[in-house]
Amino acid sequence: MKGWLLRFLYYALPTLALAVIVLAMNAGPLLKRPLGPQEDLPAQLKQVADLALSGRWEEARQGQDRLAQTWVKVKGRLRFSSTTDEIEVFDLLMAELQAAVEGRDQVLLRSAHLRMESLWQDLGS
Amino acid sequence: MGEATVVAVRAVLTFITLLIFTRLSGKTQIAQLTFFEWVTGITIGSIGGVLSTDLSIRPWPVFVGLAVWVVLVILTQYVAMKSRWTGKMLDGEPVVVVQNGQILEKCLGRIRMRVGELNSLLREKDVFDISTVEVAVLEPHGKLSVLLRSQERPVTPKDLNIPTSYEGLGVELVVDGEVMMQNLRRMGLNQAWLRERLQEQGLSGPAEAFLAVIDTQGRIYVDGYADHVPPSENMGDYPGPN
């Protein structure tokens, strides 16, 4: 019985290890999912853009603050399955969005919004 | 998760991946590798390095590249094993470089080996006079096999008609103070017998033995933890740790 178990483990352990590694490397789409309404980054981004484009800049600024906090949380989970460049570009786009809201620049805000949406699709996938 | 943490996690996963993949690829010794297998090993190792530390590339495509290389290596080995022609094509053939004391220059040229390299390989085989060589063959994995002329070979018991008995492999009974119960049972022995033999060698029991091996003649080799080396045998020539 012990010999059978050891033989089973001899094959099962490496197989299990490889399965875990493959899953870990492809877990990006899963880890991108919000763990609660506070972490729904695409929805928050859309909200900021909608508020800014309708001229409600003060509410857009508050939404942008929440978005920045959410990004800090999500970024940690996505680092493993994304490249450093992707994370840094998203960081820069967050800064660009903040600048657009503070400067009340709808063109810059639209540009940052669309680029962030596009990059979000690719992040971790 | 900071960059250092990501690299640490990737390093652990790459370590496990390479461990499994190299075990799958089968070869256990560098000496058995052909030049192509050696280059393949380096490539797999360098892909592993990228997977571990290059954060500018996502890990999954690199992992796929690594897996494909390993699969190709295994496939190549399998094909080479099943087809003699493919095996020769992939691994190359042994090349005779010396015959009856003569260096075969054309063969040396074909494998682009200099005479200095040939001499070096011969010296590694304790051959300092090429005229004593009957045949020297360069194997596909780069080692030289040498057959000396019959009058130059060492005398064996068979040459002298001296009868010898089967020696076989020794069986470990104690390793690092631990009794190998499976080996003991296989030899039809028990712990009481082992303890007696160890006591004959001046040890109180298996816990004091670093290694105990029995050969097919029933002779036991025992090495205890306590070493009695005279100071004159100390090779160190500086006062630090040896």
Cβ atoms of residues B133 and B165 within 8 Å: no
B86-126 pLDDT tens trace:
888 888 889 999 999 999 999 999 999 999 999 999 999 99
Contact across the interface for A81 and B57, Cβ inside 8 Å: no
Choose among B10, B16, B56: nearest Cβ to A85.
B56
CA distance to partner chain B, nearest, from residue A40 (Å): 19
B131-151 pLDDT tens trace:
999 999 999 888 899 999 989
Contact across the interface for A21 and B60, Cβ inside 8 Å: no
Query: A38 — contact with chain B (CB < 8 Å)?
Result: no
pTM given for the model: 0.72
Per-residue pLDDT, averaged over A18-43, amounts to: 88
d(CA A28, CA A110): 26
According to the model, what pLDDT value does residue A1 have? Answer: 67
Choose among A14, A21, A82: nearest Cβ to B58.
A82
According to the model, what pLDDT value does residue B27 have? Answer: 66
Residue B111: DSSP 8-state: T
Is residue B71's pLDDT more than 90? yes
Closest CA to A88 of B52, B3, B7: B3
pLDDT class for B31, splitting at 50, 70, 90? Answer: low
User: Is domain A28-122 given the CATH code 1.20.120 in the classification?
Assistant: yes
Does B20 or B84 have the greater pLDDT score?
Answer: B20
Closest CA to A22 of B136, B228, B20: B20
pLDDT class for B228, splitting at 50, 70, 90? Answer: confident
Burial of B172 (0-12, 13-18, 19+ CB in 10 A): middle
Is residue B242's pLDDT more than 60? no
Mean of all residue pLDDT scores within chain A: 90
pLDDT class for B241, splitting at 50, 70, 90? Answer: low
Q: Phi and psi dihedrals of A115, rounded to 5?
A: -65, -40
Does A65 or B28 have the greater pLDDT score?
Answer: A65
d(CA A90, CA A47): 18
Residue A125: DSSP 8-state: -
Mutate to test the interface with B, among A13, A80, A87 (most CBs of B within 10 A): A80
pLDDT class for A108, splitting at 50, 70, 90? Answer: very high
d(CA B25, CA B46): 16
B151-154: long-range contacts, CB 8 A cutoff, minimum separation 24 = none
Contact across the interface for A79 and B58, Cβ inside 8 Å: no
Contact across the interface for A18 and B17, Cβ inside 8 Å: yes
- Percent of chain A as helix, strand, coil, to the nearest 5: 80, 0, 20
Mean of all residue pLDDT scores within chain B: 89
B146-164 pLDDT tens trace:
999 989 888 999 989 999 8
Contact across the interface for A79 and B56, Cβ inside 8 Å: no
**Domain residue ranges of chain A, discontinuous segments joined by +:** 28-122
Q: What angle do CA B188, B189, B193 make, to 5 degrees?
A: 160
